[in-house]
Structure 1
Amino acid sequence: MLPPFGPPGVPGQQGQLQAPSAPPPSTIPAMPFTSTFAIDPGAISGCLFRYTYIWPRGGQGFWFYPVFVGRTSVSGFRWNGFFWTFSGFDLGRIESFTCV
């Protein structure tokens, strides 16, 4: 199991926490309809190591590349428009997501 947070390249973790080598898709997918209080960890775990578009509650959507899903959080790489940065999010702050 991967650690929930930490920098890429931690000794003993090489290759498991690497950002994608390419940018995400150029088109933003349509937002699926959801009416949940929080995202289920089992649902978003199907998006591990896949380009995932996240719509946060009360914020602008973004591309994400999840590498770890915990009971209440997800961590991975967030696309800032130029490069991938490592970050984590509380599942309760995610309104919806879709992976490609």
Structure 2
Amino acid sequence: MDVDYIDSYSYPRFLGPQFPFPSPPRPPGGFPGSPGGFPSFGGQQPPTTPPPAFIPQQQLATPFAVDPGAISMCLFRNTFIWLRNGSSFWFFPIFVGPRSVAGFRWNGRFWTIFGIDTRRIVSFTCF
């Protein structure tokens, strides 16, 4: 008797692991309102006050990417950033890497964790 199909019910099905795997460790902290509190960068908390209530005049835009060394002068200071896509916002940088900057961005009501590639930044000014 020739068989033109495979009876899948005659073979054992793979149902995934048959024993529990341990959950991956979770970092301390959490989202606002959760038991862990606000997520942080190495214990660094967001600013406790809003940024200035004004939007500064944009400085001369540079044709090249922003130098991480230059923006490092704004660490832990209110900084206004203009992006290549036309967006602009208040930012509170707490870390500068070789091609990125991370910190807290003001969304109009509260500070949120934020990071961006410095090549997306046209200009910035800090206070």
Q: Give TM-score, length-normalised by structure 2.
A: 0.67
- State the Cα deviation string for residues 39-64 of structure 1 (Å, max 9, x = none): 00110000000000000111321000
Match of 2:82, SS?
Answer: strand
Shift of 1:36: 3.0
In the alignment, does 2:82 pair up with 1:55? Answer: yes
- The within-5 A match list for 1:8-47 is 8=40, 13-14=42-43, 17-47=44-74
> Which structure has more RCO (C-alpha within 8 Å, separation ≥ 6)?
1
The two structures, once aligned, show a CA RMSD in angstroms of 1.1
The one of 97, 100, 104 equivalent to 1:73 is: 100
Deviates more, 1:62-71 or 1:30-39: 30-39
Counterparts of 2:105 and 2:46 in 1: how far apart (Å)? 9
Task: Give structure 2 stretches of 5+ with no counterpart.
Answer: 1-38
Task: Give structure 1 stretches of 5+ with no counterpart.
Answer: 1-6
Q: Which has the higher strand share?
A: 1
Match of 2:71, SS?
Answer: helix
Aligned length: 89
Counterpart of 1:83 in structure 2 is 110
Counterpart of 2:26 in structure 1 is none
**Which consecutive aligned stretches of 4+ in structure 1 deviate over 3 angstroms post-superposition?**
none
Shift of 1:37: 1.4
Structure with the greater alpha carbon radius of gyration: 2
